[in-house]
Every structure is written in structure tokens, then in C-alpha cells.
Amino acid sequence: MLGIHRHGDSRACGATTVVTGQTTVFADGKLVSVNGDPNTDGNGNLVAACANVYIGGQALVVIIGNKAGPDGLCIPIGAAHCAPNASSGSSTVFVGTGN
């Protein structure tokens, strides 16, 4: 079981997630992140790995194994900004087995 990734949770690059894909489902008082949510560095859209759980037609995002596209600092900084994956989430709300 994997912790749900939410608004304000960290990314591998040090940015945090900005939930834009849904406005109704919360975990621990924070909006639950869905496929395509960007980060605070711009872009870095998440790619949901939990294909069987949906919120408003969007796949739910969890902490482990969820990738993200490059964010706004990939060029020129590079490194983790080119793969700002979800790196934290809820310690009390869980879903799935990782895929």
C-alpha cells in the first residue's frame, strides 16, 4: 500500500505539487493529486501509476513510482528538475500496490 500524494507534497527536485486537476477529494485536509498536476517550478506534470483509482475521471497519484515530466527548471539546471517525481505523501491514507 502506498501513501497518496497531495497538494503541497514534495517532489524529488525540492518543489511541491500544485493540485489543479480536481477540487473535491481530500486526504488529511489536502487536495489529492491526480494525473497531470504540475509543481511549483512550473510544468513537471505527474504521471499517475495507480490505474484503477479515479477522481473525476483522472487517475489518482500515489507516492512511490510516480514519475513526472520535466519542470520549468530542467533547462538550464537539469538534474532532478528533469524528473521531479513525487517524493512524499500521506502517512495515513493509502491505495493500491504500486501499479
pLDDT in tens, 55-81: 888 778 767 669 999 999 999 999 999
Domains of the chain with CATH codes: 1-90 (2.60.200.60)
Does the pLDDT of residue 16 top 70, yes or no?
Answer: yes
Q: Is the pLDDT of residue 9 over 90?
A: yes
Mean residue pLDDT of the chain comes to: 90
Rounded Cα–Cα distance for residues 9 and 76 (Å): 24
The pTM for the full model equals 0.90
CB under 8 Å to 78, separation ≥6 — which residues? Answer: none
